[in-house]
């Protein structure tokens, strides 16, 4: 059996055009169960477009997409009703997803997100980190095989980031495939088991952080021993981006 | 859809100030507009100084006419504040206690009487106004002009009536009283009869021919002056009004006012609520999450329209029940009320959905909803003839494109049987529901794309 056949997600040569502009140019991505894949690249690289196609929000103009099971999508900004409580938000989405026991699902998610004690609090009063955890918990309500996170740590302080990644890593450890986009290269290096580098809609690299360092060493040796972010920028420049 | 509806009601409940404003503000506007339309203008307070001596009368041909009751007529049209002198009248106008002061000078009747002499003097009355406010000044000018026109008409009628009596005396004869003495008047009719009786007694010749000429003149004068009487009376009011209703039947003013108030309430509640709650889905970033397989965009639109219609129905019925305190309503037409509110609310809610789908933020869409609803509502109340023909045609086109006017027509028809038929407005509303529903659906595509 091939790797693609066992993958939780298999995207082949995805193309997306906005008028004359090609936002994605034959981008491919395969991810297995429990993998943590970071999609990185400068602004306008096509990260959100790729995640939107994987989430089913956008239709690709060309290419193939195969998903093994449900896909949970967590948008960049928390998609929550700020005047409802934590539990009311979860209950609403559990009901809309048609869960047989929506209240049971809410309890499960509250426990998973570690927000059981704050269930009755109105979301507007929660910190950005906690809002993001509920945001992710809602994305997990459908028991997805693949969880897509669009820049999940934007706007969070370091402590909130650490708690968020602890939560996400635990999900991956439980077998959920997590694909996240980020601008933070250090974060991608630290938490991403694999990195997919996009620039101007083009896939430049797909592999581990160590493999990316090797690629930098061979293509931009002057930056190979600098910090990961500087090395990454040098790599992009060497590739003409 | 029911879970979304429940969620929206929960959000509304969590924002008590917003909920109260959403209901209280339109009801307040509606009641004020209804109150303003249904109430006639109050009698203006006018200081009144009558310096004409009490026993002075207008006289015609040396004969005093009975009092025309001009003072009483004026004071029946305005709230007269009687003052003792001109200084007090000036003080009251300056202080704003009265809108104006009307002074009938001492020589007013003498001047009126001089009109039938060789040295006529124009009768004048004095009006004191405070023109610091141009709107108030115009109002006073119009009121006083109307009052004086009515006073002139009353005097003219009295004079014309007296003139007619003298003419009758001249034609038919009778008794004429002057300075306490009674004088018999032969009259043209009797004169002609006497002359005609004398004529055969005279021998043929120049004297008889002359008498025949005089008899003929007396007869002609009698016959022609007969028509002069009504002519003199008509001079007092040469044009009279004959009113024929050629188009439309209107309900009582207070019912129309209630229809306006109810439609305003319905419009504000539905348009603001639907537009706001749809924009909220975007502001909370929930739209994409919802429409990613959980709810279709059309179902989401349907839920918002349902929310608007349900809340609008409740608030409007509450307002109508409140209005019952002031004006008795025909509760046997309740079914038609429901029909009008549901159709009007449906069209206004879909218009609100189209607005909500066109804006990104709740605040922006609330402002937009106000900016659209309020002027359209006021334009819908402009009656034909109040503006130029071209402008009115334009107003009709604009108001036909928004659901307020047909919703008002439907509400008016539902509230009172004397109003126009309800079928036309309902058909109009159905077309607008379809059109705005389509617009909202198209706008949601952009909503999702951004």
One domain for residues A59 and A96: no
Instruction: Determine the pLDDT at residue A222.
Output: 79
Instruction: Determine the pLDDT at residue B419.
Output: 66
Which residue of A83, A89, A98, A142 is the best one to mutate when testing the B interface, meaning the one whose CB has the most B CBs within 10 A? A83
In a domain, A188, yes or no: yes
Question: d(Cα B378, Cα B390) in Å, to the nearest integer?
Answer: 18
Which residue of B284, B295, B360, B446 is the best one to mutate when testing the A interface, meaning the one whose CB has the most A CBs within 10 A? B284
Name the band, by pLDDT with cuts 50, 70 and 90, for residue B37.
low
Domain boundary (A101, A116, A143) is at A143
Name the band, by pLDDT with cuts 50, 70 and 90, for residue B450.
very low
> Under DSSP, is residue B448 helix (H, G, I), strand (E, B) or coil?
helix
Question: d(Cα B143, Cα B104) in Å, to the nearest integer?
Answer: 16
**Residue owning tokens 């040295």:** B119
Candidates A75, A83, A88; nearest CB to B289: A75
Per-residue pLDDT tens for A194-234? Answer: 999 999 999 999 999 888 888 888 887 877 778 888 888 88
CATH of the domain at A152: 3.40.50.300
Mean pLDDT of B50-72: 71
**Residue owning tokens 């430049």:** A204
Chain A residue with the nearest C-alpha to that of B288:
A57
Q: Which residue has the higher pLDDT, B363 or B271?
A: B271
One domain for residues A90 and A125: yes
Q: Do B10 and A73 touch (CB under 8 A)?
A: no
Q: Which of A46, A161, A109, A76 is nearest to B289 (CA)?
A: A76
One domain for residues A154 and A37: yes
One domain for residues A176 and A90: no
In a domain, A74, yes or no: no
User: Spelled out in words, what is the top-level CATH class assigned to the domain B45-158?
Assistant: alpha beta
Q: Which of A68, A51, A39 is nearest to A14 (CA)?
A: A51
A58 touches chain B (CB under 8 A): no
- Sequence-distant (≥ 6) Cβ neighbours of residue A230 within 8 angstroms: A223
In a domain, A121, yes or no: yes
Main-chain phi, psi angles of A177, to 5 degrees: -80, 125
Candidates B7, B10, B285; nearest CB to A79: B285
In chain B, the percentage of residues whose pLDDT exceeds 90 is: 20
Main-chain phi, psi angles of A62, to 5 degrees: -155, 165
Ordered alpha helix ranges (H), B324-361: 334-358
Q: Do B10 and A138 touch (CB under 8 A)?
A: no
One domain for residues A150 and A65: yes
Instruction: Determine the pLDDT at residue A5.
Output: 47
Count structural domains, chain A. Answer: 2
- CB count in 10 Å sphere of residue B326: 14
A31: β partners: A9
Which residue of B289, B296, B362, B450 is the best one to mutate when testing the A interface, meaning the one whose CB has the most A CBs within 10 A? B289
Q: Which residue has the higher pLDDT, B111 or B158?
A: B111
Mean pLDDT of B204-218: 86
Domain boundary (A143, A169, A192) is at A143
One domain for residues A90 and A111: yes
Candidates A73, A79, A92; nearest CB to B3: A92
Task: Provide the residue range defining the domain that includes A166.
Answer: 3-69+145-238
In a domain, A75, yes or no: no
Please state which of the ranges A170-184, B93-107, B164-178 shows the lowest mean pLDDT: B164-178
In a domain, A63, yes or no: yes
B4 touches chain A (CB under 8 A): yes
Structure tokens at B445: 């595509």
- CB count in 10 Å sphere of residue A88: 21
Mean pLDDT of B124-153: 76
**Residue owning tokens 């141009």:** B134
Question: d(Cα A154, Cα A132) in Å, to the nearest integer?
Answer: 10
Task: Give me the residues of chain A with pLDDT under 70, please.
Answer: 1-6
* Beta carbons of B70 and B155 less than 8 angstroms apart: yes
Question: d(Cα B160, Cα B154) in Å, to the nearest integer?
Answer: 10
Half-sphere exposure of B98 (CA within 13 A, CB side): 24
In a domain, A131, yes or no: yes
A73: β partners: A148
Question: d(Cα B292, Cα B273) in Å, to the nearest integer?
Answer: 24
Structure tokens at B309: 């219609």
One domain for residues A152 and A231: yes
A84 touches chain B (CB under 8 A): yes
- Sequence-distant (≥ 6) Cβ neighbours of residue A160 within 8 angstroms: A127, A128, A129, A130, A132, A153
One domain for residues A223 and A154: yes
A150: β partners: A181
Per-residue pLDDT tens for B233-288? Answer: 676 666 666 666 555 556 677 788 888 888 988 998 899 999 999 988 888 888 88
Instruction: Determine the pLDDT at residue B385.
Output: 67
Candidates A56, A81, A82; nearest CB to B7: A81
Per-residue pLDDT tens for A138-151? Answer: 988 888 889 999 88
* Beta carbons of B380 and B404 less than 8 angstroms apart: yes
Q: Do B292 and A138 touch (CB under 8 A)?
A: no
> Model-level pTM greater than 0.80?
no
Nearest-CA distance A209 → chain B (Å):
32
A92 touches chain B (CB under 8 A): yes
Residue B66 has pLDDT above 90, yes or no: no
In a domain, A102, yes or no: yes
Question: d(Cα B325, Cα B130) in Å, to the nearest integer?
Answer: 39
In a domain, A190, yes or no: yes
Please state which of the ranges A229-238, B83-92, B299-308 shows the lowest mean pLDDT: A229-238
One domain for residues A95 and A40: no
**Counting runs of H as helices and runs of E as strands, what totals does chain A give?**
9, 9
- Beta strand A194-199 with A202-207 is antiparallel
Mean pLDDT of B149-171: 78
Q: Which of A36, A10, A62, A40 is nearest to A205 (CA)?
A: A40
A79 touches chain B (CB under 8 A): yes
When the pLDDT of each residue in chain B is averaged and rounded to a whole number, the result is 82
Helix (H) or strand (E) holding A186: helix A185-191
Mean pLDDT of B384-396: 79
* Beta carbons of A238 and A220 less than 8 angstroms apart: yes
Domain boundaries, chain B: 2-39+251-449, 45-158
> Under DSSP, is residue A167 helix (H, G, I), strand (E, B) or coil?
helix
């Amino acid at each position: 059996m091939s790797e693609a056949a066992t993958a939780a997600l298999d995207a082949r040569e995805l193309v997306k055009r906005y008028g004359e502009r090609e936002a994605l140019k034959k981008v491919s991505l395969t991810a297995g169960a429990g993998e943590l894949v970071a999609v990185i690249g400068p602004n306008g690289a096509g990260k959100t477009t790729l995640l939107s196609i994987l989430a089913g929000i956008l239709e690709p103009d060309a290419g193939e997409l195969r998903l093994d099971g449900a896909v949970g999508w967590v948008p960049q900004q928390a998609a929550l009703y700020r005047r409802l409580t934590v539990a009311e938000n979860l209950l609403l989405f559990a009901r809309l997803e048609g869960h047989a026991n929506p209240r049971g699902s809410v309890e499960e998610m509250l426990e998973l997100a570690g927000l059981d004690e704050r269930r009755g609090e109105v979301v507007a009063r929660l910190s950005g980190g906690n809002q993001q955890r509920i945001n992710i918990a809602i994305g997990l309500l459908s028991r997805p095989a693949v969880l897509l996170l669009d820049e999940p740590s934007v706007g969070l302080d370091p402590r909130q980031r650490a708690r968020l990644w602890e939560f996400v890593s635990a999900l991956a450890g439980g077998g959920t495939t997590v694909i996240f986009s980020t601008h933070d290269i250090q974060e991608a290096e630290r938490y991403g088991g694999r990195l997919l580098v996009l620039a101007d809609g083009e896939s430049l690299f797909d592999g581990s952080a160590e493999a990316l360092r090797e690629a930098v060493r061979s293509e931009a040796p002057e930056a190979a021993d600098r910090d990961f972010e500087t090395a990454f920028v040098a790599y992009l420049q060497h590739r003409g981006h | 859809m029911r879970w979304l509806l429940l969620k929206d009601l929960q959000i509304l409940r969590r924002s008590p100030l917003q909920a109260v404003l959403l209901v209280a503000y339109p009801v307040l506007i509606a009641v004020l507009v209804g109150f303003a339309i249904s109430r006639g203008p109050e009698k203006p307070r006018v200081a009144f100084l009558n310096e004409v001596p009490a026993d002075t009368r207008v006289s015609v041909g040396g004969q005093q006419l009975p009092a025309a009751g001009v003072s009483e007529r004026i004071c029946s049209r305005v709230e007269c504040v009687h003052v003792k002198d001109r200084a007090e009248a000036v003080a009251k106008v300056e202080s704003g206690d009265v809108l104006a002061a009307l002074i009938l000078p001492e020589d007013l009747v003498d001047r009126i009487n001089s009109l039938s002499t060789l040295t006529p003097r124009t009768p004048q009355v004095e009006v004191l106004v405070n023109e610091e406010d141009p709107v108030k000044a115009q109002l006073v000018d119009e009121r006083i002009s109307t009052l004086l026109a009515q006073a002139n008409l009353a005097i003219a009628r009295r004079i014309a009536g007296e003139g007619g009596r003298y003419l009758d005396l001249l034609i038919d004869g009778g008794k004429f009283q002057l300075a306490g003495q009674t004088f018999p008047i032969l009259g043209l009719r009797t004169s002609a009869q006497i002359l005609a009786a004398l004529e055969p007694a005279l021998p043929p010749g120049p004297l008889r021919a002359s008498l025949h000429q005089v008899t003929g003149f007396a007869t002609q004068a009698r016959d022609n002056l007969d028509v002069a009487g009504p002519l003199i009376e008509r001079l007092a009011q040469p044009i009279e009004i004959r009113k024929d209703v050629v188009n439309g039947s209107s309900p009582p003013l207070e019912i129309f006012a209630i229809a306006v108030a109810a439609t305003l309430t319905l419009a504000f509640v539905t348009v603001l609520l639907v537009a706001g709650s749809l924009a909220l889905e975007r502001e909370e970033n929930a739209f994409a999450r919802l429409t990613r397989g959980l709810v279709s965009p059309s179902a989401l639109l349907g839920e918002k329209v349902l929310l608007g219609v349900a809340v609008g129905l409740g608030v409007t019925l509450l307002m109508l029940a409140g209005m019952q305190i002031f004006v008795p309503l025909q509760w046997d037409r309740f079914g038609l009320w429901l029909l009008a509110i549901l159709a009007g609310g449906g069209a206004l809610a879909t218009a609100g959905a189209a607005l909500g789908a066109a804006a990104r933020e709740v605040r922006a869409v609330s402002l937009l909803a106000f900016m659209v609803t309020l002027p359209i509502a006021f334009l819908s109340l402009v009656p034909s003839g109040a503006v130029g023909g071209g402008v009115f045609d334009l107003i009709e086109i604009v108001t036909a494109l928004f659901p307020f006017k047909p919703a008002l027509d439907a509400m008016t028809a539902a509230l009172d049987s004397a109003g126009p038929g309800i079928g036309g407005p309902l058909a109009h509303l159905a077309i607008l529901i379809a059109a705005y529903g389509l617009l909202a659906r198209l706008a949601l595509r952009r909503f999702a794309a951004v």
